[in-house]
Structures are given as structure tokens and as C-alpha cells.
Copies of this chain bind each other. A is one copy, B any other.
């Protein structure tokens, strides 16, 4: 099963998300101009297709192995990681002060899609490192930055996120890992963390674990959590990082997918650690890294959906079965309307999810780069609003689209040899980690919808409404109005009857994504038409299909939010609870 990075689509999506004004007038994206974006993506594609993709299937088959506290990555992994570093790919989005290239989050998003499509198990390692870089950039002391940041940016060392414990998953208030103050100003951590991605591996010389723990005198709950950096190796007397810290990997999980990405249980026994940010303010620091990671996980959904769509389309063009309407001989199955529906569903969901993710990334860039503080603040709120939608919708459709790819392949799809089953297995984690999609929905319906008294969400909906009106597509206009109504209902419910609001959160997020995704596709189709883009016809087709076959679910979703929630909250008896 092959994969070619969809360069034309990615470049077009970048331009759509960046916006003409930002690209041309206000200079916000000088670093996307002059062919740099195209060139970077073409190089990224070459590396992903040439180095990462060939390792993906064997990585799944062989997986990472655990022996005597060490993790051995799959064959070829070490060499590929060395080349990844040598190519400078680890550093593209990081701060130039620490060796990064400082490229926009938007371009990084497109690259992230490419890496994850080629090999999600590999891409998870730098994805976590990148989250670590962001947390350290924002919150670490200069001394910590000095020691760690440059090496993590270059990829010489990697970083991990240590949140989950057996009793503390979505609820971090329950975590028990303890941190004690040490006379030298450092800390000593003791506890067990589970589900730690690349918690141990043989790709890099050192691993910087970012670990949430409690100080002895910390307040209860999430306000008593601090963030620490716990390196695998500490410096010896000569300053070389050769001294093993008291953190070890106790085993790795046997999982449904991402077999080549080691998921580690980590044991901390009086391990030396260094505070990041302030004591008891760890959650805020961790959120810096989580928000970034949430967008990246959304892009994993897009990535696997794109690869699955390519695989299904290639198979459907080749496989011949039955006669399509009007055909005089056996047809390629792509000609059968029911198969075409599946392929269009896959392609349009992928394009919509990509558009939402890229829009989120562009908002992050504007928040960071716009010299006008009001515009920067507005963009920051917009990124906050869109992040849970980008994460949850993209990973939901990652599941849907990879499953449809299996379906298009028929019996062959169920055979592991074909490779699409792996995509479905790999994709399944994305709706779970970095905050389950239920958590994302609650974040959207609660915190995000309420930002600025609801004004930010209303402006987002106004933007959708303008696009829908201009399109003349009734299904799109109805989707936006359904969202507008459901949003008002949701904002009220979260105040007056939170249980009912929460019961409608998941359909609300889906509704938001259908309206936002559909209008972004429409905006893109219009831009492409205006500019005589070679793919204009295809973008129009996908936009129209999405409006009439996907967004058309919006009124039903609005009813679930507004009329269906009560049947959830009334149902405790039926659940035996």
C-alpha cells in the first residue's frame, strides 16, 4: 500500500487557512512566501515516502520489544531517526534561540500530517518531543532551557509526557506520584505512570520526562499538581549525561495498534527532578503542551484518513467486479455508485477535518505573530475554540474513514497483509489519548463556548453563515442555523442544567464540525474556482457532496442536543447506576 503526500491539496489548504490578507498584505506569513512552503513540503514528502513509509508495515508486525528494562525499537527505526535528526526535521517549529527554524505552526501542521500518514508510530516520538519543547519554552527556567531545550529541539534527546496513572486518566486530580523537595533545590519523585509514549527507547541518548506530581504540602485536587523534568540520565562529575536516574520502564503494552510506538509503564523511585514553572502550577504548564498535542493528534486523524482514502481509491480503480449502471462489461468498483459514495465520504471528511486543523494552526500563528494585541488575543481565543473540534472531529473521522477503507477493500481489507486494517487499528487510539473525544466535547460545550460571554463562538458562526449564504446551498445554510440554535441552547443549558448540557456535548461538537467543515470546504471551492486552481472541479465536487450528504445530518444533531439530552439524564435506572 503506497502513500503519496497530497502536496497540491496541502499547499492549497495552507493558503486557504492562512488567508490571502495574512499572506500578501500584513506579512504575517513571510516565511510561507517565495515557494518556501512548497519546497519544505516537497522535501518532507520525500523523506516521509522514502524513509518512514517503508518501515511502517514491518514496525506493525514486529513492534517495539521490551527486555531487561530496555526497549528495542523495530528494525530500521534507529537509522531512520538518525536521518530525521540530520535532516533537521525535528526543529522546524521550535524557537530559533534554541536551534529551531521557527517556521509557522501552519506549515508544521502540514508536515505533521505527512509524517503521521507515512508512519504514525514513528511520528509519535517527535510529536511528544515537540510538546515538551513548547512546555519548556514557555515555562522552564533559563538554566533548564540551557541544558535541555537545544538537545530536544535538535532531536539528540527526546521528551515525554507523564500524566496518566492507573487510577488517574481523564481525572488528573486523582494522581498520586509524589515529589519531595531536595536540599539542593531539585526534587525527588516517586510513583508509577502508565501509557507513556516512548517512555523508553533506543533512538536517542537521553529522555527528558515531563512528569506531573504532588508536593507533600500541596492542596488537594488539580491545584496541587506540579510539573517536573526528570531526565533518564543525569550529568556525572564531568558534566556528561551518563549517570542513570532512578526512573525505569517496567514494561510495554500489547496494543490494538501503533505497535512500533512503545507504550511504557514508568516507575519513579526517588528519581531526581527539576521543577518546571511554579510549584502547584503544573497543570497550566502541562496544558501548554497538551493544546499543541491535541492539534497534532487531530492531524494524526487527518493523516490516517488521507492515507486510507488514497489506498481505497487506488484499490477501487483497479479491482473489477460487476457492471456499473450503463456499463457493458465488468467495471472497476470505483464506477459503482455505492462505492463512489464511500470514497466521496472518505475524501470529503478528510478534506473538512484538514481544513479545521489548518484553520486552528493558522489561528495559533496569528496569536503569536500579529503585532496588534487585540487581533492576537482574538486569534488566541479562536485557536482555543477550534482545538477541541480539530482534535475530536479529525480523530472520529480518522476512525470512520479507515474503517471505510477496509470496507472498500472487501475481504482483502480484513487480511493484515493488505495494510488497511493496520490503519484502522492505528487510528483507534487517536480518539482516546490527549483527552478523550468526550473530554474535548465537554471542553467545547463548556469552557470554549463560554469564552468572552459567547462572543467568540458567535463570530465563528457569523463567518460560517456568511459563507453558507453566499453559496446558496440550502443544506449548508441549514447546518449553520442548526449550529446557531444548538449553541444558544447549549450555553443556557451549561448554566441552568449542566447535566443536560453535558449529555449533548458530543453531538454538539459533531454539529459544530459539520457546519465549520462544510463552510471551509465551500470557501476553498470558491477560492479555487476564482484562481483557476487545477483542482477546482474536485474541490467543488467534494464541497457539494459534503453539504448534501454529510452536513445534512446537522438538523438531526441539533435535535439530539436540544431534545435528546433529557432522555440521557433520565436514564440512570436503565444503566443500573
Contacts and interface: CB of A to CB of B under 8 A. Distances in A.
Given A347-B574, A499-B325, A563-B548, A432 B415 contact: no
A462 interface: no
Interface in A160-201: 164, 167-171, 173-174, 194-195
A490 to B, nearest CB: 13
Contacts of A534: none
Nearest to A321: B171
Contacts of A415: 253-256
A336 B502 contact: yes
A256 B416 contact: yes
Given A256-B425, A337-B502, A537-B573, A568 B403 contact: no
B338 A503 contact: yes
Chain A at the B interface: SS class: helix
B549 A568 contact: yes
A4 B495 CA distance: 41
Interface string A317-356: 1001110111000101011111111111001000000000
Nearest to A558: B552
A239 interface: no
Given A338-B503, A574-B541, A255 B414 contact: yes
Contact of A538 (B339, B425, B573): B573
B431 A407 contact: yes
B428 A411 contact: no
A241 interface: no
A387 interface: no
A216 interface: no
Interface residues of A, number: 101
A195 to B, nearest CB: 5
A208 interface: no
Interface string A426-455: 001101110011100110000000000000
A21 interface: no
Contacts of A169: 321, 410-411
Contact of A421 (B170, B256, B342): B256
Interface string A236-272: 0000000000000000011111000000000000000
Interface in A502-546: 502-503, 505-507, 537-538, 541-542, 544-545
Interface in A76-126: none
Given A255-B416, A335-B577, A411-B432, A344 B541 contact: no
A500 B553 CA distance: 20
Interface in A537-577: 537-538, 541-542, 544-545, 548-549, 552-556, 559-560, 563-577
A337 B170 contact: no
Interface string A292-331: 0000000000000000000001001100111011100010
B407 A436 contact: yes
Nearest to A334: B577
Interface in A336-395: 336-344, 347
Given A169-B410, A564-B552, A573 B325 contact: no
A505 B399 CA distance: 22
Given A411-B169, A498-B325, A503-B341, A254 B574 contact: no
A2 to B, nearest CB: 15
A468 interface: no
- Stoichiometry, as copies per complex, reads 2
A475 interface: yes
Contacts of A569: 337, 340
Contact of A313 (B499, B538, B554, B575): B575
Contacts of A572: 335, 340
A167 B282 CA distance: 59
A505 B339 CA distance: 11
B544 A567 contact: yes
B322 A171 contact: yes
Interface of A: 164, 167-171, 173-174, 194-195, 253-257, 313, 316-317, 320-322, 324-326, 330, 332, 334-344, 347, 399, 403, 406-407, 410-411, 413-417, 421, 424-425, 428-429, 431-433, 436-438, 441-442, 475, 498-500, 502-503, 505-507, 537-538, 541-542, 544-545, 548-549, 552-556, 559-560, 563-577
Given A253-B415, A338-B441, A553-B553, 10 more contacts: A194-B411, A254-B417, A256-B415, A325-B498, A337-B500, A338-B502, A414-B429, A541-B571, A545-B568, A552-B560
16 contacts: A168-B321, A170-B410, A171-B322, A255-B414, A317-B577, A334-B577, A337-B569, A338-B502, A342-B438, A344-B567, A407-B431, A414-B429, A537-B573, A545-B564, A548-B563, A552-B559
